[in-house]
Amino acid sequence: MASIKSILVLGAGELGTQVLLSLARHSQANDISIAVLLRPSTISSTNPGKVQELTNLREHNIHIIPGDLAHDTEETLSQIFLDYDTIIGCTGFVAGRGTQIKLARAVLAAEVPRYIPWQFGVDYDIIGRGSAQDLFDEQLDVRDLLRSQTKTQWMIISTGMFISFLFEPSFGVVNLAKGSICALGSWETEVTVTAPEDIGRFTAELVLGLQPSVAFNNKAIFVAGDTLSYGDLADIVEEVTGKKFRKSVRTVEAAMADLAKEPSNSLYKYQIVFGKGRGVAWDLSKSWNRQAQTPALSVKEYAGRYLV
């Protein structure tokens, strides 16, 4: 297959921005064009923060392309994708149900040589269909579609949960303000986590770096910043903050009972999936970045940097 010359990243949120900046740093010594697809309303925004974000992207020679992943048709997106040999999906479930499969179909219709879909998360194959988080079934639809063809080479980068989610009060695990820590499932249940900035570096390294031979082999690659139990997490938080936290366990059964009362509550859906611990954690020593000796933030390092 021809070498990479043009990359389009879909979205510039928390992860997309990190992927874009890492790609830009890698592409400086090569004749590779980096672009990002953003909603027209985002591009024309007068919000100072948004203006600064767009200025930062342009200063890194990142081209900004208008498009709406949620509302544009598959055909419209496919026409945009024709100009690129590599597409990286960095827009998550916020884009709406059906978006990920639409994007995959548009990529295949445009016969894009390489594709990284938005699968920066858990091991959907292990979790399987019919899980509490029904959005996961669409991720499996995308995998089935990619596996059914041979024209587009693809790579899935499994990262586990973003480290920051562990400390997001709405997720219900660590609440610094209230001084509480809640284990999902049990204190022994494990979870794999990775910081977005590390995911950005890993993605750029896999696509443009020193080990491209492992990329786009039509399979999932597992990376990790850390794999730990909720008990380990509690110990780390107390050690780093120097404080004692109130501890509780959110059982899978309790979360399922609450979901039965509120079937659309996404928080309960995620608590069930992560409480079960299946497909959400993998051996840190076997992760691609550990084997490639590429450093990444551990939970303890993240906590020391951002919690104190």
Buried b (16+ CB within 10 A) or exposed e, 13-26: eebbbbbbbbbbeb
> In 10 A of CB 85, how many CB atoms?
18
pTM: 0.95
Q: What is the pLDDT of residue 29?
A: 64
Domain for residue 177, yes or no? Answer: no
Residues contacting residue 32 through CB under 8 Å, at least 6 positions apart = 4, 5, 6, 7, 208
Cβ-in-10-Å burial (0-12, 13-18, 19+) of 251 comes to: middle
CA distance 230 to 228: 7
CA distance 264 to 242: 38
Domain for residue 37, yes or no? Answer: yes
Domain for residue 307, yes or no? Answer: no
Q: What is the pLDDT of residue 305?
A: 92
Question: Could you give the C-alpha distances from 277 to 39, 112, 251, 270, 304, in angstroms and in order?
Answer: 36, 35, 12, 11, 26
Total domain count, the chain? 1
Domain for residue 13, yes or no? Answer: yes
Q: What is the pLDDT of residue 212?
A: 56
Q: Which of 109, 112, 146 is nearest to 4 (CA)?
A: 112
Q: What is the pLDDT of residue 31?
A: 82
Domain for residue 261, yes or no? Answer: no
Q: What is the pLDDT of residue 211?
A: 57
Supply 89's token pair: 């999906």
Domain for residue 246, yes or no? Answer: no
Mean pLDDT, the chain cut into blocks of 10 residues (308 residues total): 89 95 84 94 92 95 95 97 97 86 98 97 96 95 98 97 94 95 98 97 89 82 98 97 97 97 95 97 95 93 90
For residue 133, what are the domain limits? 6-161+195-224+282-291
Residues contacting residue 171 through CB under 8 Å, at least 6 positions apart = 165, 267, 270
Q: What is the pLDDT of residue 96?
A: 79
Domain for residue 149, yes or no? Answer: yes
Q: What is the pLDDT of residue 308?
A: 78
Q: What is the pLDDT of residue 2?
A: 74
Residue 58's domain is classified under what CATH number?
3.40.50.720
Domain for residue 256, yes or no? Answer: no
